[in-house]
């Protein structure tokens, strides 16, 4: 049995490892407890359910994605159209990379997205906020046509669903997907630019 006190972060790390090994369908709280050398009750003291534990793992996983996306648009010299292109390109590339390089955690994310979990809802809200902030800057600077930033951001998000929504992951294997997403981004930028 484990000698040191059990902390939530250690449980999340162990759950991440077990999810990578077994996937979301076969992973149990008992598997996580075994890996940690504790009883499953010890895990439940920190996380009230398997769903809560999965959400904690995916929240941490998505935090890394958010950091990468924020880095992609940090360059202050970029114009709003270039920032929007960089954000969408990075967003699509990150999702394709995750499905290729981390398939079991991506499968877990997909389950949570289908369930409309708080983690997936928060991720969508983050992406919409990032898009909206760029749209606001683009309208203020005269790069984008006037309009309601919230509506424009939602329209951009919805128009690009095929390239970021986990339900379309099988389509991302296509060799044309990168060129197709670039075409959609160009069409969006042309559609919202100031005339």
Q: What is the pLDDT of residue 24?
A: 86
Chain-centroid distance, C-alpha 193: 27
In angstroms, the CA 28 to CA 7 distance is 18
- Take residue 82 and report the two structure tokens written for it: 């270039």
Where in the chain are all domains bearing CATH 1.10.357.10?
A: 56-192
Instruction: Determine the straight-line distance between the first and last CA of the chain, rounded to whole angstroms.
Output: 68
SS3 content of the chain, % helix, strand, coil (to 5): 80, 0, 20
Token pair of 144 as six digits: 């984008």
pLDDT (0 to 100) of residue 72: 75
> How much is the CA Rg of the chain, to the nearest whole Å?
19
Report phi then psi at 144, rounded to 5: -110, 150
Which tens digits make up the pLDDT trace of 160-188? 999 999 999 999 999 999 999 999 999 99
Q: Which CATH class is domain 1-48?
A: mainly alpha
Considering the chain, what percentage of its residues have pLDDT values greater than 90? 72
pLDDT digits (tens, 9 = 90+) for 2-46: 556 789 999 999 999 999 998 888 889 999 999 999 999 999 999
In the chain, which residues fall in CATH 1.10.10.60?
A: 1-48
Quickly name the fold that domain 56-192 has: Tetracycline Repressor; domain 2 (1.10.357)
> Which of 102, 98, 75 has the alpha carbon at shortest distance from 87?
75
């Amino acid at each position: 049995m484990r000698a040191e006190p059990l902390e939530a972060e250690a449980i999340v790390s162990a759950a991440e490892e077990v999810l990578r090994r077994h996937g979301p369908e076969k992973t149990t709280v008992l598997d996580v407890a075994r890996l940690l050398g504790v009883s499953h009750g010890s895990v439940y003291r920190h996380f009230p359910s398997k769903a809560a534990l999965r959400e904690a793992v995916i929240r941490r996983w998505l935090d890394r994605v958010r950091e990468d996306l924020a880095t992609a648009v940090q360059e202050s010299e970029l114009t709003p159209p270039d920032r929007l292109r960089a954000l969408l390109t990075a967003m699509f590339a990150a999702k394709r990379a995750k499905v290729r390089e981390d398939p079991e955690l991506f499968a877990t994310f997909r389950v949570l997205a289908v369930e409309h979990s708080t983690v997936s809802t928060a991720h969508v809200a983050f992406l919409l906020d990032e898009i909206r902030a760029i749209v606001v800057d683009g309208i203020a600077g005269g790069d984008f046509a006037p309009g309601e930033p919230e509506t424009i951001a939602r329209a951009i998000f919805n128009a690009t669903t095929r390239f970021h929504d986990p339900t379309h992951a099988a389509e991302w294997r296509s060799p044309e997907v990168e060129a197709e997403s670039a075409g959609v981004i160009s069409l969006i930028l042309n559609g919202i630019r100031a005339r």
